[in-house]
A and B are shown apart, each in its own frame.
Chain A
Amino acid sequence: MGLNDPQWGNKNSGGPPDLEEMMRKFNRKIESLFGRSGGGSPKGGGSQPAGGMGSGIGLIVLIVALIWIASGFYIVDASQRGVVLRFGKQVEITDAGPRWHFPYPIETVEVVNLSQVRTVEVGYRDNEKNKMLKESLMLTDDENIIDIQFAVQYFLKDPAEYLFNNRMADDKETVRQVAETAIREVVGRSKMDFVLYEGREQIAASTTKLIQDILDRYKSGIIVSKVTMRNAQPPEQVQAAFDDAVKASQDRERQKNEGQAYANDVVPRAKGAAARLMQEADGYKQRVVANAEGDASRFKQILVEYEKAPQVTRERMYQDMKQQILTSTSKVLVDQKSGGGNLLYLPLDKLIQSTNPGADAPPAAKTAEQLAVPAEAAPAPRVRESLFGREREAR
């Protein structure tokens, strides 16, 4: 109570009023007003000085007036605005701070929360697992059904508009209604794949705009700040098939990659093999030419000597060859003439075995492979013999 406050001025000048005294006066005043209370007038009923009586009533009136005036104080928080109505008509909008308005019934004030961002969930409550299928299932343009959960964030922009233009039991409910109709309109205009995959951002943007348009049409004083797509997916009944399709596209990628991997393995290998072939060919060429050069040069040199003394050289070479052959092979000498018509038995295989102490020695490299004669086991004697039945030059 502001009674002790000097600025209010105390009618009983001189110090603070005594409460008990005040109560007594009050009681007396009541008695004097309604007289016969309790029974009989109080003793010395009229002994009260009239002045005291008047001041007592004045005091009461004052107190009541003070209480009434004090009821006009209110505090507006930083995030709030106060809308002051004088006789029901909006006269001002007050900012943060302690405020005063003419008390009821002259003025009233409505305090509105502005900057607090509010959220409405559509298609779910509290978390995405808790679905509201009635809200979240909707038809797309290509007559598929999808399941969408999203949240709308909004705040109040204009406290007067918000208060006076719409009767809302709850602003959340209003925004949810508008959001539902908006999302369904937007989704109804779009193809399923667009909504589910590439178009999410766009759907959210169009929905935001549509919600705002509708709210503006109702002059609701609400601003939508954001629409967040929590979830856009096919309904659970067909989820498996959709997942499989996604998996299929990954399978496809995988298969392509595997094919590519095979290609990346095979082609370089082939190139390597090709390079090897080329190198080998080149090596072969070099070798063959070198061999030929060597052989040719050797022959030419021998030829020069041979032409100096053909007969002797020939004989010497022949004998050399004979010597070499005979020293390095196994031999069986047969005198057919003395044998007459007898059939000669030669266990050749045994002979070969006895002379072969294990594996064949590897055949020496031939000088020119295109002219090479394969080394073979001894053929029939006649054939062998004919080797040496060379024609000698007639002298």
Chain B
Amino acid sequence: MKLNMTNFLVGAVVALILASMSIFIVDQRQTAIVFQLGEVVRVETAPGIKFKVPLLQNVRFFDSRILTLDSDDPERFITAEKKNVLVDSFIKWRIIDVKQYYISVGGDEARAQTRLTQTVNSTLREEFGKRTIHEVVSGKREELMRVVQEKTDVDARKIGVEVLDVRLKRVDFPNTISDSIYSRMEAERKRVANELRATGNAESEKIRADADRQREVILAQAYRDAQKIKGEGDARASALYAAAFGRNPEFYAFYRSLDVYKQGFKNKSDVMVLDAGSPFFKYLKGSGRDGK
């Protein structure tokens, strides 16, 4: 009994150890290669529980998810107009042929990345050389990314890798050019500001001038109309005078003259120097009715 128990336990342990050596699990995120004495026997791509010959075979796992390659330092490229630009990009890639991948880069991700980086950079260099800055920044950006992705993908398949996407992040000028852009922007803004101020001034002046014109017109028209009305008044008055005085012009002259004299000499400050010989004093000298 005791022996049995012990045997059982030992057996169980041995069985477990054997099982662990012949069973392996492939995760959904992985693919696996089974090697037999260094030779690739088969590739396991489907997830699940798998078996291998213990001791004789061993397994290596590879990531089957999309991987990202993002270089920290921007690369310097030259555009069609011989300008320098700094470009920062990232690459999305995936191992699709794990056997090929293992054969060409030994399953070493760093080596695969180096290879991809080189390919992408040389393709980018080529494509940037064909295009102007304006095209790579705005017009042809998408097209450029697509072209680079396609060309890189062709090369990457040789190492069992698929390039899903190559995307540009920064496309910037080196500092020296940036400075000249800044000064251009500044000059442009100054121009805009000056223009705004000048037009503001002009428009203000226009409004003022228009107001002044309106004032002149209004006043002149008012003067005209006022004079017309006054003229009407004068005319009516003249007509009235003429109608009245025309009855006896001689008497009017006399009557009116008397009025004028009265109005003319009515202050103490008016000094009259009178000649005693004037008819005015006819009766001052005597009461004779000699007449002249």
Binds B, one of A4-12, A70-78, A113-121, A286-294: A286-294
Tell yes or no: B212 within 8 A of A by CB.
Answer: yes
Which of A90, A241, A303 makes the CB contact (< 8 A) with B251? A303
Minimal Cβ-Cβ distance residue in B for A276: B222
Tell yes or no: B151 within 8 A of A by CB.
Answer: no
Give every chain B residue within 8 A of A214 (Cβ-Cβ): 165, 167
Give every chain A residue within 8 A of B181 (Cβ-Cβ): 143-145
- A248 to B171 Cα, complex, angstroms: 33
Measured CB to CB, the closest approach of chain B to A282, in angstroms, equals 6
- A74 to B62 Cα, complex, angstroms: 29
Whether the Cβ atoms of A252 and B197 lie closer than 8 Å is: yes
Binds B, one of A15-23, A225-233, A324-332: A324-332
- A371 to B237 Cα, complex, angstroms: 13
Whether the Cβ atoms of B203 and A255 lie closer than 8 Å is: yes
Whether the Cβ atoms of B165 and A252 lie closer than 8 Å is: no
Q: How many inter-chain contacts with C-beta < 8 Å in the A-B complex?
A: 383
Contact bitstring A313-338, B, C-beta under 8 A = 1, else 0: 01001101110111011111111110
Tell yes or no: A198 within 8 A of B by CB.
Answer: no
Measured CB to CB, the closest approach of chain B to A293, in angstroms, equals 6
Which of B194, B211, B230, B251 makes the CB contact (< 8 A) with A284? B230
Which of B201, B267, B275, B277 makes the CB contact (< 8 A) with A375? B267
Contact bitstring B252-292, A, C-beta under 8 A = 1, else 0: 10111111111111111111111111111000000000001
Tell yes or no: A242 within 8 A of B by CB.
Answer: yes
Measured CB to CB, the closest approach of chain A to B20, in angstroms, equals 9
Contact bitstring A333-356, B, C-beta under 8 A = 1, else 0: 111110000000010100110011
The size of the chain A interface, using a CB distance under 8 A, is: 142
Give every chain A residue within 8 A of B138 (Cβ-Cβ): 140-141, 188-189
Which of A87, A143, A241 makes the CB contact (< 8 A) with B49? A87
Whether the Cβ atoms of A57 and B5 lie closer than 8 Å is: yes
Contact bitstring B194-221, A, C-beta under 8 A = 1, else 0: 1011011101111110111011101101
Binds A, one of B25-33, B99-107, B110-118, B153-161: B25-33
Tell yes or no: A266 within 8 A of B by CB.
Answer: yes
Binds B, one of A36-44, A92-100, A200-208, A380-388: A380-388
Minimal Cβ-Cβ distance residue in A for B239: A292
Which applies to chain A's interface (DSSP): helix, strand, loop or mixed? helix
Measured CB to CB, the closest approach of chain B to A49, in angstroms, equals 10
Contact bitstring B167-189, A, C-beta under 8 A = 1, else 0: 11111110000110110011001
Give every chain A residue within 8 A of B279 (Cβ-Cβ): 388-389, 392
- A326 to B264 Cα, complex, angstroms: 12
Whether the Cβ atoms of B70 and A334 lie closer than 8 Å is: no
With A87-B47, A352-B271 already in contact, the answer to whether A50 and B1 are too (CB < 8 A) is yes
- A80 to B50 Cα, complex, angstroms: 31
Minimal Cβ-Cβ distance residue in B for A349: B271
Which of B48, B225, B227, B241 makes the CB contact (< 8 A) with A292? B241
Whether the Cβ atoms of B5 and A53 lie closer than 8 Å is: yes
Tell yes or no: A129 within 8 A of B by CB.
Answer: no
Measured CB to CB, the closest approach of chain A to B230, in angstroms, equals 5
With A217-B165, A256-B204, A373-B263 already in contact, the answer to whether A355 and B269 are too (CB < 8 A) is yes
Binds A, one of B34-42, B119-127, B242-250: B242-250
Give every chain A residue within 8 A of B137 (Cβ-Cβ): 139-141, 143, 188
With A238-B182, A248-B196, A278-B226 already in contact, the answer to whether A295 and B241 are too (CB < 8 A) is yes
Whether the Cβ atoms of A256 and B218 lie closer than 8 Å is: no
With A166-B66, A214-B165, A375-B270 already in contact, the answer to whether A145 and B255 are too (CB < 8 A) is no
With A143-B133, A217-B164, A235-B182 already in contact, the answer to whether A137 and B172 are too (CB < 8 A) is yes
Tell yes or no: A300 within 8 A of B by CB.
Answer: yes
Known: A184-B168, A262-B211. 4 other contacts (CB 8 A): A53-B1, A168-B68, A177-B90, A377-B269
Among all A-B residue pairs, the 10 with the closest Cβ atoms: A252-B200, A285-B233, A274-B222, A296-B244, A281-B226, A259-B207, A292-B237, A263-B211, A259-B204, A248-B193
Residue ranges of B at the interface with A (Cβ–Cβ < 8 Å): 1-2, 5-6, 9, 25-30, 46-49, 63, 65-68, 70, 90, 92, 133-134, 137-138, 141-142, 164-165, 167-173, 178-179, 181-182, 185-186, 189-190, 192-194, 196-197, 199-201, 203-208, 210-212, 214-216, 218-219, 221-223, 225-230, 232-234, 236-238, 240-241, 243-245, 247-248, 251-252, 254-280, 292
